[in-house]
Structure formats: C-alpha cells, structure tokens
Amino acid sequence: MTEGERRQPPLVETSGLGKRYGAVTAVEDLNISVRRGEVYGFLGPNGAGKTTTLRMLLGLVRPSSGTATVLGGEPGSPQGLRGVGALVESPAFYPYLSGRDNLRVMARYCEAPPSRVEEVLGQVELAGRARDKFKRYSLGMKQRLGVAGALLKDPELLVLDEPTNGLDPKGMADMRAIIRRVGRGERTVLLSSHLLGEVQQVCDRVGVIQRGRLLIEGTVEELRGGSGILVRVEPLEKAREIAAGLDGVEGAQIREGLLMVDTDPGRAADVNAGLVSAGLRVSELRPVERSLEDVFLELTGGETV
C-alpha cells in the first residue's frame, strides 16, 4: 500500500456499529476502517460476530446501532454495491444451473458484460468445469465459483467471508493463491477468517474481534510486536548496556535471566560479535518472533479460534 493510498479516506468505516438479536448482542460498538489497496484481515473465533459485521456492511442485515460507510455510501445501496464483490459464508448458487449459467445470472443482476463470465472463470481456474451443474461441484469448486461471482463486477472492494472454510489443505493453498492474485494491484480485500496462519500470510492489516467487540486493529507487524534476539550471556547487566549501544538495535531488556535485544533477527552475528568483542561470554543466541497466534491468545485470554 502506497503512502497516497494510506492518506485517502477508508473504503470501509464503521462507527459504533452494533447488532442485537433480542437479548443476544452479536456485535457491539465496532469501529474498524479498511484502507484502499490493503488486504484487511477480520480475525476472530467462530461466533465472534465477523459474519454479522460483514452482512451489515453489505446491507443484508440492518444495524441496531451505529453507522457504516462502504465506498462512501450506505451499506447495501445499489450505488455502494457497484464496486463491491462479496462471498458471504458458504457459496450459495442455483443447484440446477451450471457454474457458467450461475455466473451469467449474476452478471445480469449486476449488469456486468457477458464476457466477464469467462474471464472470472479463468481467474479462479474453473473454466474446465464450467458446464457442470453447481450441485455436482466439490466444496472447493463451489468456493471458487463464489469468488468468481464476487469478481464479476471487477470490484474495488472484495469481501470474502471464511473463503477457505471446510477445504482440504490443497484447496486452502489454492484459495490463498487466488486471494493473493486477486488482491494484487489497487483492489482492496476484506478477508474474514478464524485461521490465524491464513491471515498472517495474506493480510496487511488485521482487526481482531471477540464476542462482538473489536479488541485491536493494526498491521500484522504492529500486532506481533517487534521481533528480536534472545541471548544467554554473562554478565547480564553489562551485556544489556553494550547491546543497547550497538548499531541497528532499538533497545535491550533483561527477561527471566536472558537478554532480549530488539533488533532484526538477521543481525544476530553482529550482536554476537559486539558482545564477544567486549569480553562477554555468549553461550546462546536465538531469534524471537511472536506469531499472530501468540498475540491472539494473549488478547482473547486463550479462547480458541
């Protein structure tokens, strides 16, 4: 994402968005913003309120409170939906129609040129099975048809809700490759998932939601915190002073009998050389990188995804 894109108004913005079903609060006081050109991961456990939020952003469900704008318009308005493609939950199409005819139907609804049908079939690698009826498709093929349907309008914003749900490992890898491919360039992708690895691999920024509330929002790097090098060295206090003064090191702290050096793990050799040349005894260096899963478990108090 370029600096120019960062300065533009968000494509999706919510303010105090909430949805209640009787006594049950599905989403509460949600504030997220999705910037132009990024792949935004909407992360949370099953039942956290991700799908309800996406449904509100697409105008399928009316919010109980708060507001949202999508591409500058009201969610669900024909004007706003002109630039939005979406796959919400499991892909739903007409079982008696072929994949191609299903897309033809969708193309008529969104007034996309008929030639787009063949283009998107090619993009999701489904052209060879386009004549088969939807009811004969495997789950992976159904998901790919769902993405194809979402791409028909060549949308500015692509909303994908758990696109790898239920797929086998190969299907998941294929789908991630498709998402990366369609997310290239200026297209913005809002990807909801409960799969941490998937979000870490694909997304630029992440919003973490739990029990309907946003816990944190930021880039994947911001969420994971700084990476560093953990050093077993003696004496510790002197080592901390020397390490803090080395080039490329942003800081050094003592943690549980070890020295944590905030720097790029690729600088391990430089850190080692600096400490050894000061006469310190270094017995171990290892890179430390928090995964998104570590962050998520910290934020959610261990609730599984």
Q: Which of 152, 179, 195, 196 binds another protein (CB under 8 A)?
A: 152
Angle among Cα 278, 282, 288 to the nearest 5 degrees reads 115
CA distances from 18 to 35, 44, 48, 101 (A): 21, 16, 13, 37
99 makes contact with another protein (CB under 8 A): no
97 makes contact with another protein (CB under 8 A): yes
234 makes contact with another protein (CB under 8 A): no
46 makes contact with another protein (CB under 8 A): no
Instruction: Give the shortest CB-209-to-another protein separation in angstroms.
Output: 19
81 makes contact with another protein (CB under 8 A): yes
DSSP reduced 3-state for 109: helix
236 makes contact with another protein (CB under 8 A): no
Give 82 or 129: the residue with its C-beta nearer to another protein. 82
Write out the two tokens for 181: 């491919």
Give 159 or 261: the residue with its C-beta nearer to another protein. 159
Q: In whole angstroms, what is the distance from residue 156 CA to residue 158 CA?
A: 7
Write out the two tokens for 173: 């890898």
Per-residue contact string for residues 131-150; x = within reach of another protein by CB under 8 A = ---------------x--xx
Binding residues for another protein, rule CB under 8 A, total 38
Q: Which of 144, 153, 224, 267 binds another protein (CB under 8 A)?
A: 153
Q: Which of 16, 72, 109, 303 binds another protein (CB under 8 A)?
A: 109
The candidate with the shortest Cα–Cα distance to 28, out of 11, 45, 48, 13, is: 48
Give 135 or 286: the residue with its C-beta nearer to another protein. 135
* CB of 32 closer than 8 Å to CB of 207: yes
Q: Between β-strands 65-70 and 12-21, what pairing exists: parallel, antiparallel or unpaired? A: antiparallel
Q: Which of 27, 106, 249, 261 binds another protein (CB under 8 A)?
A: 106
The candidate with the shortest Cα–Cα distance to 185, out of 1, 7, 17, is: 1
Q: Which of 20, 104, 129, 213 binds another protein (CB under 8 A)?
A: 104
* CB of 43 closer than 8 Å to CB of 29: no
CA atoms within 13 A on the CB side of 149: 27
Q: Which of 84, 121, 179, 223 binds another protein (CB under 8 A)?
A: 84
177 makes contact with another protein (CB under 8 A): no
DSSP 160-223: EESTTTT--HHHHHHHHHHHHHHTSTT-EEEEEES-HHHHHHH-SEEEEEETTEEEEEEEHHHH
60 makes contact with another protein (CB under 8 A): yes
Instruction: Give the shortest CB-150-to-another protein separation in angstroms.
Output: 8
φ and ψ at residue 273, rounded to 5 degrees? -60, -40
Residues in the chain: 305
Residues making contact with another protein (CB under 8 A):
55, 58-62, 76-78, 81-82, 84-86, 88-97, 101, 104-106, 108-111, 146, 149-150, 152-153, 159
